[in-house]
Amino acid sequence: MTDFHIMLGSRAAEDGLGVSSALRYASLAGLRFVGLVQSCEGADFSFVASLAEEVRRCSLYANVEAVAGVELRHVPPALIPSFVQQARDAGASLVLVYGETLCDQVEEGTNFAAIEAGADIITHPGLIDAKAAAYAAEKGVALELTSCPRHAFANAHTAAMALRFGCPLVRGSAATCAGEITTRARWPFLVKGMDVFEEYNLPEYLKKNEEMLIRKLMGR
């Protein structure tokens, strides 16, 4: 499988992994391409340029390719399109939207607004409906298959909707410390555990979609 993997970092060390630590642990986990993402709830993206430069510089020596990004969390759906654009203008290679996970009270309509805005990935989209899934396929917005226990309750539903409608599907962990990083060796078991789709090859589908996303990100 391609080793695209979403991880959460932080400007504050106590809130998450710094860039060098994240890349070191990703390398030890056998990962080869990661998105290092800073969560953001407001419209201040002044940190993005420095984060992107640090990721670029450190990844040259870390045995891991990486891109810097932003995860928009609990942003009102009406503001998501403008925030996605502002994040891109600030230099984010990867823009995620915190989706309608079953473990949190995310505002209804967030998934659809993220798709309409052209975000790269909706993390843990929960019980995404057919209308949104079809739109995600049309817009090329990826859905996340997560290894994060608190967000993983709807993984099988997410995979089913992606396979049914042709949405891009990629893996992520929302890791904020070394112990939360899902290793390359562990991922096949997690995928197998949710793979109840006999007529599809879910590992191959993930590989194809992750390779497409990596090509898109590296072209930016």
Is the pLDDT at 4 greater than 90, yes or no? no
Is the pLDDT at 80 greater than 70, yes or no? yes
Which amino acid makes up residue 96?
L
- 61-80: b (≥16 Cβ within 10 Å) or e: ebebbbbbbbbbbebebeeb
Q: What is the C-alpha to C-alpha distance for residues 56 and 69, in angstroms, rounded to an integer? A: 12
Question: Under CATH, which number does the domain 4-218 receive?
Answer: 3.20.20.140
Is the pLDDT at 86 greater than 80, yes or no? yes
From the list 42, 58, 50, 62, the residue with the least C-alpha distance to 11 is: 50
Average pLDDT over residues 81-97: 96
pLDDT of residue 110: 98
Domain ranges of the chain: 4-218
Q: Distance of alpha carbon 81 from its chain centroid, rounded?
A: 17
Arithmetic mean of pLDDT over the chain: 90
Q: What is the C-alpha to C-alpha distance for residues 21 and 24, in angstroms, rounded to an integer? A: 5
Full-model pTM = 0.92
Is the pLDDT at 10 greater than 50, yes or no? no
Average pLDDT over residues 1-26: 65
Output Rg (C-alpha) for the chain, integer angstroms: 16
Q: What is the C-alpha to C-alpha distance for residues 28 and 155, in angstroms, rounded to an integer? A: 26
pLDDT of residue 8: 54
pLDDT of residue 15: 57
Q: Band of the pLDDT at 1, cuts 50, 70, 90?
A: very low
Q: Band of the pLDDT at 7, cuts 50, 70, 90?
A: low
pLDDT of residue 17: 80
Average pLDDT over residues 26-38: 91
